[in-house]
Amino acid sequence: MTPPDITAFFDEATNTVSYLVFDPDTRDAAMIDPVLDYDAASGEVDTASADGMLAAVEARGLRVTLVLETHAHADHLSAASYIKAKTGAAIGIGEHIRDVQKIFRPVFAADDLKTDGSDFDRLFADGERFSIGSLEVEVIHTPGHTPADVSYRIGDALFVGDTLFMPDYGTARADFPGGDARQLYRSIRKLLELPRETRIFLCHDYKAAGREDYAWETTVGAQRDASVHVRDGVSEDDFVAMREARDATLSAPKLLLPSIQVNIRAGRFPFAEANGVRYLKIPVKAKQAVFE
Contacts with Fe ion, residue ranges (CB under 5 A): 73, 162
Q: Which is nearer to Fe ion, 73 or 268 (CB)?
A: 73
Task: Report the residue count for the chain.
Answer: 292
Q: Which is nearer to Fe ion, 54 or 73 (CB)?
A: 73
CA dihedral for 73, 76, 81, 87, sign (positive or negative): negative
- Alpha-carbon distance 80 to 6, whole Å? 18
CB of 93 to Fe ion, least distance (A): 12
Helices first, then strands: H and E counts in the chain: 7, 15
Ramachandran sector of residue 15 (left: φ over 0; alpha: ψ -120 to 50; beta: rest): left
What does each C-alpha distance from 27 to 65, 121, 128, 138, 209 come to in angstroms? Answer: 10, 21, 23, 19, 39
DSSP letter assigned to residue 248 = T
Q: Closest residue to Fe ion, Cβ-based?
A: 162
Q: Which is nearer to Fe ion, 18 or 87 (CB)?
A: 18
- Alpha-carbon distance 69 to 60, whole Å? 22
Which residue type occupies 166? Answer: M
CB of 182 to Fe ion, least distance (A): 18
Q: Which is nearer to Fe ion, 11 or 162 (CB)?
A: 162
CB of 1 to Fe ion, least distance (A): 29
CB of 273 to Fe ion, least distance (A): 29
CB of 164 to Fe ion, least distance (A): 12
Q: Which is nearer to Fe ion, 15 or 26 (CB)?
A: 15
- Alpha-carbon distance 124 to 140, whole Å? 9
CB of 195 to Fe ion, least distance (A): 26
Residue 194 has a CB neighbour count (10 Å cut-off) of: 16
Q: Which is nearer to Fe ion, 76 or 268 (CB)?
A: 76
